[in-house]
Amino acid sequence: MANDKKNTKDKKPKFSPYWIYGIIIALFVGFHLFNNNTYQEGNKTTPSDFFKFLEAGDVEKVDIVKNTRVARVYLTKEAQEKEVHKNSKPTAFLTSTKLPNYKFEFGDLQNFENQLNEINKDLNTKPIISFDTETNDWGNLLMGILPFILLIGVWIFIMRRMSGGAGGGAGGQIFNIGKSKAKLFDQNTDVKISFKDVAGLEGAKEEVQEIVDFLKFPEKYTTLGGKIPKGALLVGPPGTGKTLLAKAVAGEAKVPFFSLSGSDFVEMFVGVGASRVRDLFKQAKEKSPSIIFIDEIDAIGRARGKNAMSGSNDERENTLNQLLTEMDGFGTNTNVIVIAATNRADILDKALMRAGRFDRQIFVDLPNLTERKAIFEVHLRPLKKAKGLDIDFLSKQTPGFSGADIANLCNEAALIAARTNKKAVEKQDFLDAVDRIVGGLEKRSNLFSVEEKKTIAYHEAGHAVVSWFLEHADPLVKVTIVPRGRSLGAAWYLPQEAYITRTNKFLDEICVTMGGRAAEQIIFNEISTGALGDLESVTKKAKAMVMIYGLNDKVGNITYYDPAGENGFVKPYSEKTAEIIDNEIKNIIETQFQRALELLTTKKDLLDKLANRLIEREVIFKDDLEELLGISPFKKSSTIVLEEE
Ligand code: ATP
């Protein structure tokens, strides 16, 4: 993995765009200083005052700038010493040129000239009068074009950002915008991942093994008249190892591997996506046999023709059309195989999935117990484990964890062990890491009042007691009133691994979740806001029962499941059905709440015992639960797992 990181590092542009900005700003500031001082035009005065100065013989020179109707007045040395001109001395900076003492607007030139000549003829020492003195034209010109220079700078900057990191070694040029952004892993940047780094996923590995074979020995298949598949679609929840599997295929087949994400095609300019697709396939064909891996293909592969209102959709559709064309276009003998990954195969365009494009769909599901064990073995390899660490136990404690979760868990456990200066990572570190990952960070510093602590303890004890006595509820592992993440306390269960869920299980789970609020009702005769998470969860479950799985008699065997959002804002049922749905959801939750109330009323002594123990110890485990509540009538499987505690 470290190798990957090294390979994928973007090359830094040689010339940072910030330099352009620096230079422009320096020019601007420098010019301003220069301009202000060299061409300082003196203090403002009026024509009548000027004529007074002239009559007094104070003026040495007058510059008349016709186009701006401004005259600049230079005083004689002696005049500058006079009291009246005290404040007119210019401050020279960065220049040796003589600067004017005054400036004024003369209005009509002819009039001004006449008046000037009139006074001039009576003077003994006549001032020098120069017409059309050069204005600061260069300065004006520069000031005029500066905004454009700035705009161009900004534009270059944006273009560089957008095309930065483009493939083909030409990153950072404006014209690379239509080039594919795929990262290339080839013999120079060896893909070191092989099938042995991918734990579990036996079925998926078998399927992709065939792709490796196609790439390595194409003749084996083509001589018999078979065609090499063009693409495989890896479908599964996040973190289950789809990217890893695709990399392993490239590593095993030892062919170049172009990796990019669906969103890399999408840009704000029309036509860029399609052009990137073309470029990607062109590059891949040049390096054939090769693999193109498109992660998160749903970013471009969503079914076409929806949300016709939005313009960005058109661009996505163009990109998808181009992808379809390219997959059709390259002949079977080009040996380019496209592997794509998605979490949402249900929303993909049908045209993508037809045979001849992604002919193979490979499901990469969450790992089961044995697969989790294998994944643990891979990720425990680099860790210093305590002697006798039981991997079976760890795999049993982590149902529902994906490969990425397990990788994260191992790392988290190592960090926890390091924090306490341990020499090796122990079982308890892993259990703490599970708590940390599932529940969030422990917040021991949260201060509760005695009353609040009591409420939380009864709430959690309510969940625990109800689950202890319901057949289909998940087995309880521990109960705590130490706040973690968003929750103030928690009852931890060990979910059973099952592929189907029956109505009874749904109902028991809802009843357990309502157990917290029911306990509060029984003990305090009032309910609190502490059940928000519970209410969210039961509403979601009841809604799923009624609207998705057809588990409700009144609504019947019907589903309103709409994963692709095809219905938009339109409800696919009538107002009458909507009313039935609302009532049934409410009914399910209410019935289970009453059931929890009844059960807890009969077991109130146990509820008290458990809540008091919780207040005393804050965390209680299965052993304490058995001591207080007796052996659970139904929790056989939990006993097997937790005996190792
Ligand atoms: P997403 O759909 O979010 O892109 P993904 O399915 O592509 O996720 P990966 O990126 O392949 O998941 O997996 C993330 C990490 O999880 C891997 O780098 C690896 O460390 C670990 N992992 C996942 N599955 C496995 C596995 N079967 N064996 C070993 N490690 C795994």
Whether 94 and 36 have beta carbons less than 8 Å apart is answered as no
Q: Which residue has the higher pLDDT, 163 or 144?
A: 144
Q: What are the pLDDT digits (tens) for 459-518?
A: 999 999 998 889 888 888 788 887 776 677 777 777 776 778 889 999 999 999 999 999
List CB contacts of 144: < 8 A, sequence separation 6 or more: none
First to last CA, the chain: 34
Answer yes or no: are the C-beta atoms of 391 and 237 closer than 8 Å. no
Say which residues have a Cβ less than 8 Å from residue 344's Cβ, sequence separation at least 6: 298, 563
pLDDT at 335 (0 to 100)? 75
Q: Which of 41, 215, 32, 56 is nearest to 122 (CA)?
A: 56
- Average pLDDT value for residue range 369-397: 86
Listed in order, the ranges of the chain carrying CATH 1.10.8.60 are: 369-439
Residue 204 pLDDT class (50, 70, 90 cuts): confident
Contact by Cβ (8 Å): 257, 191: yes
DSSP state, residue 94: S
Position 9 pLDDT exceeds 50: no
DSSP annotation string for 130-181: EESPPP-HHHHHHHHHHHHHHHHHHHHHHHHHHHTT-STT-TT-GGGGGS--
Q: If you measure from the C-alpha of residue 8 to the centroid of ligand 1, how many angstroms do you get, rounded to a whole number?
A: 17
Is-contact 544 560, C-beta < 8 A?
no
Ligand 1 neighbourhood includes 391 CB (under 6 angstroms): no
Determine whether 149 is exposed, middle or buried from the number of CB atoms within 10 Å of its CB (0-12, 13-18, 19+): middle
Contact 48, 112 (CB under 8 A): no
241 is in an annotated binding site: yes
User: Cα–Cα–Cα angle for 217, 219, 225, nearest 5°?
Assistant: 135
Instruction: Look at residue 226 in the predicted model and tell me its pLDDT.
Output: 74
What phi-psi label fits residue 356: left (phi over 0), alpha (psi between -120 and 50 degrees) or beta?
left
Domain 450-644 coded CATH 1.20.58.760 = yes
Tokens 């660490």 sit on residue? 389
Atom of ligand 1 nearest to the CA of 371: 27
Annotated catalytic residue, options 412, 460, 509, 520: 460
| pLDDT per position as a tens digit, 103-122 | 888 888 888 888 888 888 77
| CATH 3.40.1690.20 correct for 40-136 | yes
CATH 3.40.1690.20 residue ranges of the chain are 40-136
Q: Which two tokens stand for residue 198?
A: 């991918």
- 599 with 469: CB under 8 angstroms? yes
- pLDDT top residue among 273 and 521: 521
Does ligand 1 have an atom closer than 6 angstroms to the CB of 242? yes
Taking each helix axis as running N to C, give the angle between helix 450-468 and helix 575-602, from 0 to 180 degrees, rounded to the nearest 10.
100
Name the band, by pLDDT with cuts 50, 70 and 90, for residue 94: very low
Residue-by-residue DSSP string for 175-244: GGGGS--PEEE-GGG-----GGGS-S-HHHHHHHHHHHHHHH-HHHHHTTT-----EEEEE-STTSSHHH
pLDDT > 90: percent of the chain = 14
The yes or no reply on domain 369-439 and CATH 1.10.8.60 is: yes
Q: Which residue puts its alpha carbon closest to atom 8 of ligand 1?
A: 239
pLDDT at 56 over 90: no
Mean pLDDT across 411-436: 87
Distance from Cα 238 to the centre of ligand 1, integer Å? 8
Distances (CA, A) of 384 to 344, 370, 443: 38, 22, 28
DSSP, collapsed to helix, strand or coil, labels residue 74 as strand
Tell which wins on pLDDT, 426 or 66. 426
Ligand 1 neighbour 241 (Cβ under 6 A): yes
Given this model, what pLDDT does residue 645 score? Answer: 23
Pocket of ligand 1 contains residue 198 by CB under 6 Å: yes
CB atoms within 10 A of CB 624: 16
45 labelled as ligand-binding?
A: no
Residue 530 has pLDDT above 50, yes or no: yes
Mutate to test the pocket of ligand 1, among 192, 240, 343, 344 (most ligand atoms within 8 A of CB): 240
**Ligand 1: centre distance to CA 320 (Å):** 26
Cα distance between residue 367 and residue 400, in whole Å: 8
Nearest Cα residue to atom 19 of ligand 1: 404
Global model pTM greater than 0.75: no
pLDDT for 584 equals 94
- Does residue 459 have a known ligand-binding role? yes
* Mean pLDDT computed over 615-624: 81
Say whether 243 counts as a known binding-site residue.
Answer: yes
Identify the CATH homologous superfamily for domain 183-363: P-loop containing nucleotide triphosphate hydrolases (3.40.50.300)
**172 assigned ligand-binding residue:** no
In the chain, residues under CATH classification 3.40.50.300 are 183-363
371 is catalytic: no
Specify the residue for token string 């000239």: 113
Can you tell me which residue has the tokens 């893909």? 191
Task: Give the position, in ligand 1's atom list, of the atom nearest the Cα of 200.
Answer: 27
Alpha-carbon separation of residue 386 from 271, 393, 394, 641 (angstroms) = 57, 14, 13, 20
